[in-house]
Structure 1
Amino acid sequence: MKKRIAIITTGYFPVPATRGGAVENLVENLINENERKGNVDLNIFSAYDKKAEKLSRKYKNTSFEFIKTPKIIKKLDLLIYYFFSKIAKKEKSMSYRYILQRLYFIDRVAFFLKENNYDRVVIENHATLFMAMKKHKNYLKYCGKYYYHLHNKVGSMYGCEDIIKQTYKVLGVSNYINGTLRELLGKTDIKYDVLPNRIDSTKFRENFSVEELTNLKESFDIKPGERVVLFSGRLNAEKGIRELLLAWKQLNKPNAKLLIVGSYYFASGMKSDYEQELKVLTESMKDKIIFSGYVDYNEIPKFLRIADVVVVPSVWDEPGSLSVIEALSAYKPLITTCTGGTSEYADNDSSIVLPNDEHLVDNIAKSLDELLDNREKRAEMTRRLKVKARNWGIGEFYNNFVDEMER
């Protein structure tokens, strides 16, 4: 009999991932692959979204519990976010954007866990979700059956330390991120395994028509023959976008443009002071830099296709960057940094992996100067990636996930 597996998503954005989100896109890839293979029955707990709910109806091997946030909670969350971002001027005001929504989401998930029976429960990333295991003593009901799919470093355990310590297994996106939790929790009986991030590589290797690619370039005033350097990700300080812009300022490449794809927080509509700072920084070179704003995830492969070089210059400890994996899966020459778990995905054999130190800006500039002027080196990096990342894909991720659920 097929196992019935509940996946508790973040409670921010929906699955299917109609509003973006790295974790949400990963879960969507998982349910798409399960639709093809059908090895397990999935039940997804997701924030409600009209478009996502409509898309969910096509799935036969996955059921959905969409949790709709009451309007009063949405309004109160906006007030809380306004206070911390505009009045208190908190640096990471994004953390305060969905506080009440998440608490409501957790309460409803806890109820469903109590009222139903699942063979496995998978908690996606955020430690607050363990409150759903705490309520109604669900952690006892699902003892030995709940897993923690860890994508980021845990900062707080929200009063759930003992329950987290009773997790059957942590499935981290890298050895690095597993190590951070192991250090935080100390000695426990938790099992740790790495479930490497993967994407739907077929989408990132799609053969777009010349007309499609030409139209995309023209929409951003990229002229024929101009080389394109691509950054794709959230416009946060930790992603190293400032360092990339400063490096670009050093270069004198009259026949190249820097294309910045992304926004502060996916499709939330939130704006940050940091974005405004970036716009000021780029004022003197605005004819060579393009800000696309938020782009639907399904469009990212097309943007990668027009790129000659991709830069992911993170200045924090990336657990397992999807932007890195996307570039590698698309066989694109990549410049990135040796931070966190990145070196478990990218290496200097097929990419340029730079130290995250005081010389980062200069080193990004030098690396870009070298790659943009060396077509042969770019071609060689692509050839090596076709070997390294040939079998990377959501099929591998799905098989690994199902295997973990069987253990």
Structure 2
Amino acid sequence: MSDMDLEKPSPATATQRHGAHMAPKDHEPGDGCLAQVIRIPVRVVVVLVVIPVRMVWDVLVLCGRAVERVLLRPLGRALGWVFEKVITPVALALAWLAAAIGKALFYWPWVALWRYVVVPVVTYGLVVPVVWVYRQLLTPLGHGIAWLVEHLLVAPVTWVYRQLLTPLGHGVAAALAWLAKALFYRPWVALWRYVVVPVVTYGLVVPAAWVYRQLLTPLGHGIAWLTGALWRGSVRLVRTLLVAPVVWLYRYVLAPVGREIASAVGVAWRIAGHVSRAVGRGLKWLAWNMVGRPARWCYREVCTPVGHFVRDALWRPAADAAVQTGRAARAALASARETVRQARRDAWRALIGTPREPRAVAGPVGQARNLGGGQQTQTVPGAAAEPEISLPQQG
């Protein structure tokens, strides 16, 4: 053995090698004695409670599948067929009929009224005369009035404004501006600059700044420090007296108990599934041995021989007799139809007479006739063609 074999494995290595498969599957790190104590009783109680629920659930699932297979699927297919083959064509036909009636009653009359009454009347009774009046009367009249106003009114007024009013207005405007500044601007500027600003600055702003800097700022810092200290103390007190016990209770009592209950419910649900399947297989075996097997024996040993006897002794002879009877009836009907047909033919001959047989008509004796007016086609080979004469000309 080598030195490597003689070395004792470390605890970490031993845990990695053996701890994974030695620990239980549902083991949670940090489980205390409370989880180990309540695990088995909780699982027993949960199994006893869950087994009836799981069996009822499995029965409901089987009933639901049976109802879906036997009732809902055929009903859905039937409803789909009815909707596709009946309701949809009827709805489309009714929609098309309603659309046609609606167009015939409410669309085409208004379209025809608009197209053939309103548009021609408005176009030729209003628009065309108005356009003609505008182009032929109002436009030349407006041009003439504009020319008169421009040359008789605008030009003289413009000359008077430029040559007389503009120089006079500049002087008057300058005098009015100087007077307005002297009366309404400079006194208020002097009042603001030399009275209001010094009074507000040294009577209000400087004392307020000193009070804020020397009194309010230190007072606010002290209040803030005191408030922070009180808040930190309150937080520490609440954390120590309320949060820590609640966290401990959740971590070491509620979480293990809840985890064990959830694990117990899962295990119980699986166990209840196995129990439910076992009960179902037992009920299936019992139903098969009490109902299915006797029914199959009765079908094979009683119904099948009786059915074969009825088929061979009664049904096949009756079917063969019916076939022979049908063949005889069809032959009799065919003979009767042929007899009636022959009697009808004889009665017709007795009343009308025998139809005349067709006879061959001999052609005129002489030269061979030329068919088609040429020498290519003749009735008699080697004979000279006779000229064509129509029947009326022959007599």
Q: Calculate the TM-score normalised by the size of structure 2.
A: 0.12
- Structure number with the bigger relative contact order (C-alpha 8 A, sep ≥ 6) is 2
| Structure label with greater radius of gyration | 2
Q: Pick the structure with more helix per residue.
A: 2
Q: Pick the structure with more strand per residue.
A: 1
Q: Calculate the TM-score normalised by the size of structure 1.
A: 0.12
